[in-house]
Amino acid sequence: MALLALAAVGGGMVVGAEGRDSGTVTRLEAPAPPRPATVPHFVDVTGRAGISRRQRSAGCGGNVAGAAWGDVDGDRDPDLFLPAGSGRSRLWMNGGDGRFQNRAGRAGVADVPLATGASFADYDNDGDQDLYIVSQARNRLFENDGRGRFLDVGAYAGVDDAGPGTSAAWGDYDGDGRLDLYVVNGDNCRAPRPAPDRLYRNVGDGRFVDRTEALAGGPAATEGVGLQAAWIDYDRDGDLDLYLANDELGFRANVLWRNDGSSPGAPRFKDVSDRSGAGLAVSSMGIGIGDLDGDGRTDLAVSDEGTPWALLARGATFERARLPFVSGPEPITWGLAVADLNGDGSEDLVAAAGALGLRHAPQPDLLYLGDGRGGFTEVGGAAGAADPGRGRGVALADYDRDGRLDVLVTRLDQPPLLLRNRGPRGGDRSHWLELALTGTLSSADACGARLGVTVGSETVTREVDCGSEGLGSASDRVVHFGLGLAARYRRIAIRWPSGTVQRLPGGRSDRLLEVTEPRGGSSPSSSGHR
């Protein structure tokens, strides 16, 4: 079946019904290797960019090394925050010339003890990006004052829980136009049991209230070794559901909570892990989100001790599949990201890989190219993206605004790796479109908005993600579309989190469009920016 033909050169996709390669397993033929003209070429520009500073381990339990992209100063260029574990964190401001300058000390975000991950979001809808930092010590919320400084407002806001945090995901689960926050807390090796996660509801006055009891099972249901959470509308009913990736070290499978809205006397979020097939019991670390098989539904990728799993959406259920192992030592995969990295209109997947200890064999990162029908081929070596370091987090951004998505991989006790995407060798003829959304009825960041761009008779769909993908990391929320050879697109349709549907006419490719949500009806409001 073509939709399940996720494979690599030399091996087929493993499809199974249960947990770790159990249940009925089928091996499918691998698709033909991709033509060299479609393989992107990545160049290591870490030194040139000026970000060659080591991210130190956060100590006991500090296996996460995250990263967050966000436009801190409003100049349309994504800036980069790198938590530094036992060192000083860095806020790398993008100069627009391929180089970055560290402004963490001046901005007030350098000294967060044992910081492991972060996520930008405009939680107060004032037009600038605020920053939530998770830590092995205490999780912190920093408000952007709009003048280059961040103020620690975690205690006032009620979200400075004791951690130990591993990741933070933003999403408006109740549809009130304010971003709510899910904080994943894990295991720091010192406590007798893992700490519970926290679900915080934004009440709109700069404060949040703890609503973890709204999850079926309450706080106790979150006391696994959680590493990453994702807000997705898996059942496509217009509200955000919540997926949690647990490392099986904590003896808890992954959890999918369906958002059933407010119902007196019942949890808002119902556990549908088993009935949906999403309850993998594996060593889950990171989550990738995207349309892996080109059917217009939102699929999930989950990392493991081995190659990632794919959870392919089939309505209210998921079909499980395993990306293949090719050769060499089987990797431990950590952070994941799904995006179109070669501009052909199909989603690809990048996975950070890395050993637990220094004495283990090197494990190259993985890059799978998608064919738009569920077929995937591993090309990390050919693309220049197979770094053998102790990879952990992955965060994507078109940091130089050239229309190609670049890859940032964090590495434990090593400098990060910034890979600039130069397109396929021999010349890049693909076109692209990027959209930056601003909500009015929805949250300002429009987290969870669903976009479709039509080229010819085909429509490609993407969603706005705000910290749900990766591992302790957050990609730039500007939405990227590869358009293949199409110099023009026919139309754009946006379903905003408020339920508003906005339609924009066709136009030329190769530009960044800024789109504002209409306050009434569906009148278009957009402006182009190169």
Q: Strand, coil or helix: what is 290?
A: strand
Q: What CA–CA distance (Å, rounded) separates 123 from 110?
A: 21
Across 1-15, 90-104, 247-261, 317-331, least confident range: 1-15
Angle at CA of residue 352, ends 351 and 355, nearest 5°: 130
Q: Max Cα separation, the chain?
A: 62
At residue 480, does pLDDT exceed 60? yes
- List pLDDT tens digits, range 6-38: 433 333 333 443 444 333 333 323 455 565 558
36-424 and 431-516: identical CATH topology? no
One DSSP character per residue, 448-502 reads T-EEEEEETTEEEEEE--SS-SBSS-B--SSEEEEEET-SEEEEEEEE-TTS-EE
- Name the β-bridge partners of 318: 313
- Look up the pTM and report it: 0.92
Res 85: pLDDT: 86
| pLDDT on residue 343 | 95
The residue with greater pLDDT, 388 or 194, is 388
Is the CATH code 2.40.170.20 the one for domain 36-424?
Answer: no
CB within 8 Å of 161: residues ≥ 6 apart: 138, 139, 183, 185, 198
pLDDT tens across 380-434, in order? Answer: 999 999 999 999 999 999 999 999 999 999 998 899 999 999 998 877 789 999 9
Q: What percent of the chain has pLDDT over 90?
A: 76
Give the tens place of pLDDT for each residue, 272-292: 999 999 999 999 999 999 999
- Position 108, amino acid: G
Using CA atoms, how far residue 28 sits from 25, 65, 321, in Å, is 10, 35, 11
278 phi and psi angles, rounded to 5 deg = -90, -5
Rounded Cα distance between 13 and 30, Å, is 7
Helices then strands (H, E): number in the chain?
A: 5, 38
Whole-angstrom Cα distance, residue 38 to residue 40? 6
Beta bridge partners of 461: 452
pLDDT given for residue 5 in this prediction: 39
- Residues 177 and 125 sit within 8 Å (Cβ to Cβ): yes
**CA-to-CA distance for 12 and 6, rounded, in angstroms?**
7
Contact at 8 Å (CB) between 131 and 158?
A: no
Q: How far, in Å, CA of 323 to CA of 26, rounded?
A: 12
- Report domain extents, the chain: 36-424, 431-516
- Judge whether residue 526 has pLDDT over 60: no
Instruction: Give the pLDDT confidence score for residue 129 in this predicted structure.
Output: 98
Name the average pLDDT for the chain. Answer: 89
Q: Do 304 and 284 form a contact (C-beta atoms < 8 A)?
A: yes
Average pLDDT of the residues in 45-56: 91
The answer on pLDDT for 330 being more than 50 is yes
Say which CATH class 431-516 falls into.
mainly beta
Residue 20's pLDDT is 42
